[in-house]
Amino acid sequence: MSKRKVLEDKRQKLLTRRNLIKRAGALGGGLLLTGCDTQFYKPPVVRDGLMGVADIMTMASQRMLMSNEQLVQEHDSSEITKNFPVWNQSNPEDEEYQRLRSTNYQDWRLPVTGLINNPISISLSDLKRMPRRSQTTMHICEQGWSAIAEWTGTPLLSVIQAAGGIKPEAKYIMISAYGGWYEGYDMFDVTHPQTILAYGMNGKDLPLGNGAPLRLRVERHCGYKQLKFIKSIEVVSSVENFGRGTGGLNSDYGFHWYAGA
Ligand SMILES: Nc1nc2c(c(=O)[nH]1)N[C@H]1C(S)=C(S)[C@@H](COP(=O)(O)O)O[C@H]1N2
Ligand SMILES: [Mo]
């Protein structure tokens, strides 16, 4: 083969691969960010030095693999785990949380603020009137266990849309929880159809230990990203101002970016 032919061949391959990634990206999460494929490969945490490079590589390869696989597997109800674990925090010792719990979360409100067109504050009954999705999925904790449950909730994207949509500078959302946890998510996660704010588990209200009254299900991530006891959502252009600035409680304390399930 001539040198020219070899080069032409390579370029052709590259182009098709690029088109594939672009197409998959647009399908996967493009509702708010159509056609903007580079956004999908930006890791939320950019660390200095070698570890930073490792995180970026892990995330880039996960996003590459996941772009062909739109949804995580959904299971049959017969596969639901009988005693789904309650892991880590089970009842935050937070005065405000305890007050809200004492009246069955009647006064609980979810503020959605930051780089969003119409900041809102929504109640549980508001959420329950919005579009609803149920999914039976496997929760995989990075600490070595997994279990299956059915989760019911409002797609995060519907909540963002109810707040008028994001502003152009918006890149991530930060979710804070009662009890002090927080995690950041990029728009790839936010717009994914299986990303829901869950108020139901196995057909009942979300139990206390599993994050009542509201937790996140962001199915392509490991357990630590499934934030429980949700308190507020803020749309941001940078994660720098939260905690130690790496994009979440876990990465702030030295855990590295994990691929999803
Ligand atoms: N607010 C809050 N969210 C949290 C945690 C926590 O301790 N507090 N633990 C995380 C981890 S590591 C896992 S595995 C899951 C556990 O969810 P479960 O208690 O419903 O099993 O919640 C995640 N979200
Ligand atoms: Mo976990």
In whole angstroms, give the CA distance from residue 226 to residue 155: 14
Amino acid at 213: P
Ligand with minimal distance to 148 CA: 1
Q: Which residues contact 212 (CB under 8 A, 6 or more apart)?
A: 101, 105, 205, 206, 229
Q: What is the pLDDT of residue 62?
A: 67
* Top mutation candidate among 87, 143, 221 for ligand 1, by most atoms within 8 Å of CB: 87
Ligand with minimal distance to 87 CA: 1
Higher per-residue pLDDT: 12 or 32: 12
Name residues contacting ligand 1 (CB within 6 A). 85-89, 141, 177, 179, 181, 209-211, 223-224, 226-229
CA of 222 to the centre of ligand 2 (A): 7
179 contacts 260 by C-beta, under 8 angstroms? no
In whole angstroms, give the CA distance from residue 42 to residue 185: 11
Q: Please state the atom number of ligand 1 nearest to the C-alpha of residue 147.
A: 21
151 contacts 196 by C-beta, under 8 angstroms? yes
**Residue 36 banded pLDDT, cuts 50, 70, 90:** very low
Q: Which residues contact 175 (CB under 8 A, 6 or more apart)?
A: 182, 183, 184, 185, 216, 227, 230, 232, 233
Q: Please state the atom number of ligand 1 nearest to the C-alpha of residue 89.
A: 7
Q: How far is CA 113 from CA 50, 96, 143, 205, 225, in A?
A: 35, 20, 32, 26, 20
Amino acid at 84: F
Q: What is the pLDDT of residue 50?
A: 55
Q: Which residue is associated with the tokens 């580079």?
A: 38
pLDDT digits (tens, 9 = 90+) for 70-99: 789 999 999 999 999 999 999 999 999 999
Q: Which domains does the chain have, with CATH numbers?
A: 3-252 (3.90.420.10)
pLDDT digits (tens, 9 = 90+) for 178-211: 999 999 999 989 999 999 999 999 999 999 999 9
- The mean pLDDT of 32-48, rounded to a whole number, is 39
* Top mutation candidate among 88, 225, 229, 230 for ligand 1, by most atoms within 8 Å of CB: 88
* Top mutation candidate among 216, 224, 229, 250 for ligand 1, by most atoms within 8 Å of CB: 224
Ligand with minimal distance to 226 CA: 1
Q: What is the pLDDT of residue 243?
A: 87
Higher per-residue pLDDT: 8 or 111: 111
In whole angstroms, give the CA distance from residue 136 to residue 148: 7
Amino acid at 182: Y
